[in-house]
């Protein structure tokens, strides 16, 4: 599985996720496209800033922008009865985007020969950065900060790739499927990380 394939999958999934949430918040058509684009490319932009890649490199991804615009347009034109099932399908698109971008971000960091910590950070930022920006702009608590396990799965992808455990395209495909599945299961089964309440 090449970096380009993962980028395409993640871009389409997050663009759809952003567009759905924008429509749920009753944004106008400009807001739907804007939130969809920001969700699809926000994580990569933040990652590039932290690992020293010019943000302007995003504008070289013309094909991915076309993929995002096509995905957003398709969602905007969905009939209302299909949009009613957003709560059922939204977690799937978000999980696919998280997994694809986490794996892609880790691969990119490894190709730049960055240390393990940077590979893990790149995976987390690429996988969850766009969703965090999306949720903030939509006035919601970011998924990464909720009780459900979210960014931990992206970090796991970065750790596996950074340690060189996987070396084949088949292995990357299986890792992609595993991370997406774990994210969906953590939502369905309400897996949580430890937390504390502060009481007065």
Instruction: Name the E strands within the chain.
Output: none
Q: Which residue has the tokens 């992609």?
A: 176
% of the chain surpassing 70 pLDDT:
92
Confidence of residue 84 (pLDDT cuts 50, 70, 90): low
**CA 107 to CA 58: how far, in whole Å?**
17
Cα angle at 132 between 141 and 9, to 5 degrees? 130
The mean pLDDT of 30-58, rounded to a whole number, is 85
**CA 83 to CA 23: how far, in whole Å?**
9
**CA 111 to CA 113: how far, in whole Å?**
5
| Residue 86: predicted pLDDT | 61
The mean pLDDT of 30-54, rounded to a whole number, is 87
| Whether pLDDT at 17 is above 90 | no
| Whether pLDDT at 6 is above 80 | no
The mean pLDDT of 148-169, rounded to a whole number, is 90
Q: For residue 88, give its domain range.
A: 3-188
| Whether pLDDT at 1 is above 60 | no
Q: Is residue 193 part of a domain?
A: no
Q: Is residue 196 part of a domain?
A: no
The mean pLDDT of 37-57, rounded to a whole number, is 82
**CA 134 to CA 151: how far, in whole Å?**
15
Q: Based on the structure, what is the number of domains in the chain?
A: 1
Helix, strand, coil percentages (3-state) for the chain, rounded to 5, are 75, 0, 20
**CA 9 to CA 121: how far, in whole Å?**
20
Mean pLDDT of all residues belonging to the chain: 85
And the tokens for 86?
């957003």
The mean pLDDT of 2-14, rounded to a whole number, is 80
Confidence of residue 165 (pLDDT cuts 50, 70, 90): very high
Indicate yes or no: pTM above 0.95. Answer: no
**CA 184 to CA 101: how far, in whole Å?**
16
In the beta sheet, which residues pair with residue 184?
none
Q: Which residue has the higher pLDDT, 82 or 53?
A: 53
Q: Is residue 194 part of a domain?
A: no
And the tokens for 198?
């502060």
The mean pLDDT of 166-180, rounded to a whole number, is 90
**CA 59 to CA 46: how far, in whole Å?**
14
């Amino acid at each position: 599985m090449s970096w380009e394939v993962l980028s395409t999958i993640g871009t389409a999934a997050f663009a759809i996720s952003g567009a759905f949430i924008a429509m749920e918040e009753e944004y106008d058509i400009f807001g739907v496209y804007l939130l969809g684009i920001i969700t699809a490319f926000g994580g990569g932009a933040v990652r590039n800033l932290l690992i020293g890649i010019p943000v302007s490199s995003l504008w070289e991804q013309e094909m991915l922008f076309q993929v995002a615009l096509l995905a957003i347009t398709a969602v905007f034109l969905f009939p209302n009865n299909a949009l009613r099932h957003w709560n059922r399908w939204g977690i799937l698109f978000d999980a696919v985007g998280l997994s694809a971008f986490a794996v892609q971000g880790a691969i990119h960091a490894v190709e730049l020969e960055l240390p393990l910590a940077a590979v893990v950070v790149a995976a987390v930022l690429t996988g969850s950065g766009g969703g965090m920006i999306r949720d903030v702009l939509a006035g919601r608590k970011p998924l990464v900060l909720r009780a459900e396990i979210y960014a931990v799965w992206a970090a796991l992808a970065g750790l596996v790739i950074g340690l060189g455990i996987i070396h084949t395209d088949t292995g990357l495909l299986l890792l992609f499927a595993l991370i997406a599945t774990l994210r969906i299961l953590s939502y369905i089964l309400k897996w949580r990380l430890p937390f504390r309440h502060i009481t007065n």
